[in-house]
Amino acid sequence: MSERFFGNFTQQEPIAQDAIDAAIAVMQSGRLHRYNTAPDDPGEVALLEQDFAAMTGAHYCLAVASGGYALGCALRALGLQPGEAVLTNAFTLAPVPGAITSAGGVPLFVEVTDALVIDFDDLIAKAPRARILMLSHMRGHLCDMDRLMEICAEHGLTVIEDCAHTMGASWRGVPSGRHGAIGCYSTQTYKHMNSGEGGFLISDDPQVMARAILLSGSYMMYPRHLASPPQDAFESLKYETPNVSGRMDALRAAILRPQIPTLPDRVERWNALYRAMETGLSDVPGLRLIPRPQAEAYVGSSFQFCLPDHSPAQITAFVHACAARGVELKWFGAAEPAGFTSRHDSWRYAPPQDLPQTDKVLAGLMDLRLPLTFDIRDTQILCRIIAQELGAAPLSLG
C-alpha cells in the first residue's frame, strides 16, 4: 500500500498565550481603533510600529491593514502618476501587479532567472521606461541586492521591496526591506507573523513616510505615531495628501507585538524543514533544486523545485498523483490560475508581455508550503512520495 501524507498544508501554529492575553485586553477595553486610545496610552499599533522599526533598523514604520495595501500605499507615497509604468518581477503573486494597477500604474514585467530572482540584463534593458522598481522577493528568494542597488542607482530607479516572503531574511547581514526606499511586509496568516491580515511599511525617508501615514488615514492625528518623522515633515503634505484608509487596528497589533521577539526561533525552525527537504530531494533524477547564494540568509517557509524536462501532461499527472497521496503541490506553469497560484498571463488587467525566459522557468516550477506544524519526519515522507511519483527509487532518509 502506498505511503500517504496526512499533514495539513494550511494549518498554522496556535497564537501564543501572551498574544491571546493582549488581544483580550484590547477587546475588554473596547478601544479597537488605533487612534481611540486612553490618555497617556500610545496604543498597541503605535507600540507595534516602534517595535518593528527597532527590529528592522528602520527610522520609521507604519502598520496597515494588509501587505497589498502596503504596496499600493508605497507607490502613492512615491507620487505614482496615472498610467506610469512600474517595473516588477514577472514571477510574483497577484497582489503585486494588483497594487500597481489599483494605484493607477501599469505593470512592466522583468524576466526572472533559473534561481527565481529578477534578471539583471532584462532590468537594465527596461530601466529607461520607468522610475520605480517594485522588487518582489518571491517565495523568499533574494537576488544579489548589492548589484541590484548598483543598477538602480545607475538608472535612477527607486526601489520598493516586497518582503511578504522575507521577513527575517537578510543579504550580507542587511535585513530584507532595508535596501530600497521602502520595505513592505505582510502579516497574513501564511506569512512569518500571523494576524490573519495586516502589513507594514518601513522607510528612512521622512517625506515618504509622512505621506504614507497621511494616506493610511491618520486624519490630523499623526502626532500620535511613535515611529514617525518629525512633525514638520507633515506640514507641506497634510492638505494635499488624500485619505486612502488602510489603518491597522489595535486587536491585530496586540496579536503581533509578542510575535516579534519570537521571529528568530521561527526562522530557525523553518530553515531546518527547508534543509531537510533539500537533503531528501538532492539526488532525485529529473528534479532540479533552486540554488541559494551564500550571502543570502533566507526564511524557508516554502519550498520550490523544478521539473525542467517534463511535459505539461506529465506534470499534471505528477501533481494529481501527489495530491492523491496527501501532498499539495502548486504548479506555476499551469494554464489556469488556481487558489493563490497564478502567472503573468493570468493578470489581464496588465498589458500582455513577451517573457519567454520566465515562461520557461515557470513551466516546470513546483512549490509547497512548509508550515511550522510540520516536523522533520513529515519532510521525509514528503520527499519519499515526491521521489516515488517522479519514478525514482525510494529514498533512504533515516
Q: What is the DSSP string of 14-48?
A: PPPHHHHHHHHHHHHHT--STT---TT---HHHHH
Quote the CA–CA distance of 39 and 19 in Å, as a whole number: 23
Q: What is the mean pLDDT, run by run of 10 residues, along the chain of 398 residues?
A: 91 97 98 96 98 98 98 98 98 96 98 98 98 98 98 98 98 98 97 98 98 97 97 96 97 98 98 98 96 97 96 95 97 90 93 97 97 98 97 44
The pLDDT assigned to 348 comes to 94
Continuous segment of H or E residues that includes residue 314: helix 312-324
The pLDDT assigned to 1 comes to 55
The pLDDT assigned to 340 comes to 86
Quote the CA–CA distance of 121 and 222 in Å, as a whole number: 42
**Topology adopted by domain 17-259:** Aspartate Aminotransferase; domain 2 (3.40.640)
CB atoms within 10 A of CB 102: 17
Residue bearing cell 514528503: 382
The pLDDT assigned to 109 comes to 98
Summarised one tens digit per residue, pLDDT across range 45-62 is 999 999 999 999 999 999
Which SS3 state, helix, strand or coil, does residue 277 take? helix
Domains of the chain, by residue range, sit at: 17-259, 263-389
Q: Which residues contact 227 (CB under 8 A, 6 or more apart)?
A: 46, 49, 50, 52, 53, 58, 59, 60, 61, 62
The pLDDT assigned to 392 comes to 47
Which SS3 state, helix, strand or coil, does residue 215 take? helix
Quote the CA–CA distance of 146 and 160 in Å, as a whole number: 15
Task: Place domain 263-389 in its CATH homologous superfamily.
Answer: Aspartate Aminotransferase, domain 1 (3.90.1150.10)
Q: Which residues contact 36 (CB under 8 A, 6 or more apart)?
A: 43, 250
